[in-house]
Amino acid sequence: MASRQSLRAFQAIRSSVPTSSYRPRTWQSLRFYSAAAADETPVSAPYLQHLKTDLKTAMRAKDAPRLAVLRAILSANLNASKTKTPIRTDPQLVIQIMKMKRSIEETAAEAKKVGREDLAEKELEQAKLMEEYIVKSKLEVLGEEQLRPMIKEQIELSIAEGAQTKTLMPDVIKRIKAATEDKVVESKILAPLVKELINERSK
């Protein structure tokens, strides 16, 4: 039953997009992003300029997979620029690319579930390109292992400086963000980890 439902859901996703131009659901509106649009994209994070140059190179080389990836990244930046949380730094840009990479990998997994290995392979090819641009940023990505000792230190400093229970977590998060502003730290990892370590200390 679950398999049939997955198949119907996946077929519904694909019904509005030709196989030859299939992209993850969040990318369907990005197919017509052009070099001209790239020139108009607000540049905030310095690394974005490198991606814009790569877009033009990919267009000249007719590198369709790389073109799709770069158009998606630039469109995500353009969309973010119209919100209250624009991408202003290279770490923020890399975090956006990481999120998009995970979305592609999830789409590939859906494709595999319904036996569409051909589509899964295309998605994984784009995920590989996303990873390439994460690495090319040359930014350090901090995971739990690196963050734990930093968070423990900031918890002690925050308490020593008089932080109360209600303000401890936001204060520690603020301190960590200030200390790692030139590194990549995902909020979905940072916040739960700070909460966990604060709870551990209070026991």
> In DSSP terms, which residues pair with 141 in a beta bridge?
184
Considering the domain architecture, whether residues 89 and 31 belong to the same structural domain is answered as yes
Say if residue 115 is in the same domain as residue 162.
no
Looking at residue 145, its pLDDT comes to: 96
- 190 and 130 within one domain: no
Cα dist. 130→34, 69, 81, 103 in Å?
19, 7, 21, 11
107 closest CA partner among 174, 8, 27, 196:
27
Secondary structure E strands in 67-127? none
Is residue 69 within 8 A of residue 126, CB to CB? The reply is: yes
Shared domain for 15 and 77, answered yes or no, is yes
- pLDDT of 165 reads 85
Please say whether the dihedral angle defined by the alpha carbons of residues 184, 128, 76 and 88, taken in this order, is positive or negative.
Answer: positive
The pLDDT averaged over each successive group of 10 residues in the chain (203 residues) is: 48 43 43 48 76 95 94 93 92 96 94 92 94 96 96 96 91 96 94 96 84
Q: Number of structural domains, the chain?
A: 2
Domain-ending residue, one of 136, 153, 179: 136
Residue that has been written with the tokens 């859901």 in this structure: 9
pLDDT at 137: 96
Is 6 found in the same domain as 69?
Answer: yes
107 lies in the same domain as 195: no
95/169 same-domain check: no
Inter-residue contact 79 to 91 (CB < 8 Å): no
pLDDT of residue 44: 62
Is 148 in the same domain as 126? no
Residue whose C-alpha is closest to residue 148's, from 193, 94, 199: 193
Mean pLDDT, all residues of the chain: 84
Q: Which of 136, 153, 188 is the last residue of a domain?
A: 136
Q: What share of the chain is helix, strand, coil (3-state, %, to 5)?
A: 75, 0, 25
24-40 pLDDT, tens digit per residue, is 444 444 444 455 555 54
Residues 86 and 126 in one domain: yes
What's the pLDDT score for residue 125? 94
The letter for the amino acid at 162 is: G
Of 82, 111, 136, which residue is a domain's last? 136
Host domain of residue 82: 2-136
CA dihedral sign of residues 31, 34, 35, 41: negative
- CA neighbor of 156 nearest in space, from 197, 116, 189: 197
Q: Do residues 45 and 77 share a domain?
A: yes
